[in-house]
Amino acid sequence: MEDAKRVEPLAATASGPRRVRAIRELPGPRGLPLLGNLLQLNTGRMHTILSKWAHEFGPMYRYRIANHDAVVLADTGLINEVLRNRPDGFQRGKRMQAIVRELGIDGVFNAEGAKWRRQRKLAMLALNTNHLREFFARLEVVTARLQRRWERCAAACETVGASGDLRRFTVDVSSSLAFATDLNTLESEGDVIQRHLDKIFPAIARRLFSLVPYWRWFKLRADRELDAAVTQVHELVNRLVADARRRAARDTNAESRPSNFLDAMVAAQGDGTAAFTDSEVVGNTLTMLLAGEDTTSNTLAWMMHLMTEHPAVQAKMQDEADRILGPANRPPDYASTAELLYIEAVAHETMRLKPVAPVLWVEPTEAVVIGDIHVPKGTPINALLTYVAMSADNFADSKSFRPERWIEAAGHSTEGHNTQAFLPFGAGPRFCPGRHLAMLEIKMVASMLCRNFDISRAPDSPSTEEVFSFTMMPSSVRLRLRKRSNSAIR
């Protein structure tokens, strides 16, 4: 056995170090010769299958694809220790990096080491709270567009496809904040960019669990459709980058500061010490579009679904929106969003039960000991974020939708409320840099919704199921909105 680096305190017990075991000694599901567990891993239900196996085999187990082992972590302490050791001790899997890079996504999402640190610093600056305060007026304009879109649906008694509308909203927000470009897909019809973006994450998931990278030799229909979608997305991204370069060429003031993420990347290309390559500029632009379009919109869609399932929660959200917003239809300023404590609690509870990233895949950069298991360099590790968030060991009444738990705990770990198991934005050095923007978008939309509408499930709408396609999304959220009367607004 090769020398292994022990990651303390994972391998220690009160009585001293445990005997270090090999991966083959871990329990796990029985597989088939040659294929292993490949045929059992339905991509669309990946997170539920892995969680089911965790119930059966415990907080650390293995499965196999062909002759390759993968380790699954369903233990809060182990997962947090791994996340704290990123990016030096653990990185995204090389297979995922290659698949993502093939799609032209060469940005902070799949960067590692010094390359990641350079890109991460700029992303953090672009998404910090000071920039969000400055951006608030623009965010309010986009939120008003969504309100008008929903008012038209309510007046016409039309069913609202929440996921589609929310993806338009988040793309419009991301493009305005990160690129200084108003795509305004909320007020556009026809071939909007979301139709092409929506093909990318499912393709990543499908390719990640393919036995061989067949698409490098021949293309199925889904691969040809993906290629067409990626071409359309890159045409948009290249236009955005060209616009940023034209703005930079016109700006002759050497002391002026770029006002957005894309302009800052282009400006950095003239800095010999931290210059971004062309592929990094394009890749980070695409990353911002994808991250904004998918994750926040799915959280909001899940929240709206849960509001229809729990009318008492919806009523409390409306009461808070009425009280905080007063005569306004939307939050009047950035400071008012901080007062939406119950709506924030609903968002947290939604992300606990329905996280859009239920599984995190990493691999060790060198041999390590996790728990008492020797894990060779490059072994795929699956961290089950949903499993620990829904465990009775971490949250009392863990399967119930109870937003009040977040107010009672006041953001701290208490008996029956383990915040270390709540990881919707990750943890450690690589936590999501967009978490503040995501929470601001969620509060803006949720408070506008509660202030102006009653929502219910549309008649004859299909049931809402969990679908895994790299992120975890609702299969369908079809809603009926009814404008609240003046007398109903308290």
* Residues 452 and 322 sit within 8 Å (Cβ to Cβ): no
Give the pLDDT band (50/70/90) at residue 419: very high
- Round the CA-based radius of gyration of the chain to a whole number and report it: 23
Between strands 471-474 and 466-469, the pairing is: antiparallel
Q: Which among 466, 399, 461 is positioned nearest to 159, based on CA atoms?
A: 461
Tokens of 230: 């990626």
User: Strands 453-457, 68-73: parallel, antiparallel or unpaired by DSSP?
Assistant: unpaired
Give me the pLDDT at residue 161, please: 92
Predicted confidence band of residue 385 (pLDDT cuts 50, 70, 90)? very high
User: Distance of alpha carbon 85 from its chain centroid, rounded?
Assistant: 20
Rounded Cα–Cα distance for residues 412 and 5 (Å): 33
For the chain, give the mean pLDDT: 88
pLDDT in tens, 93-137: 888 889 988 888 888 888 888 888 888 887 887 788 888 888 899
> pLDDT per residue over 44-58, tens digit each?
888 999 999 999 999
- Cis-peptide, bond into residue 462, ω within 30° of zero: no
* pLDDT tens column, 165-213: 999 999 999 888 888 888 899 998 766 788 888 888 888 888 888 878 9
Q: What is the pLDDT of residue 401?
A: 97
Tell me the whole-structure pTM to 2 decimals.
Answer: 0.91
Residue 269 pLDDT > 70, yes or no? no
Q: Which tops the pLDDT comparison, 244 or 269? A: 244
- Specify the pLDDT at position 341: 97
Instruction: Determine the average pLDDT of the residues in 257-279.
Output: 73
Give 17's pLDDT tier (boundaries 50, 70, 90).
Answer: low
Report pLDDT for 5: 47
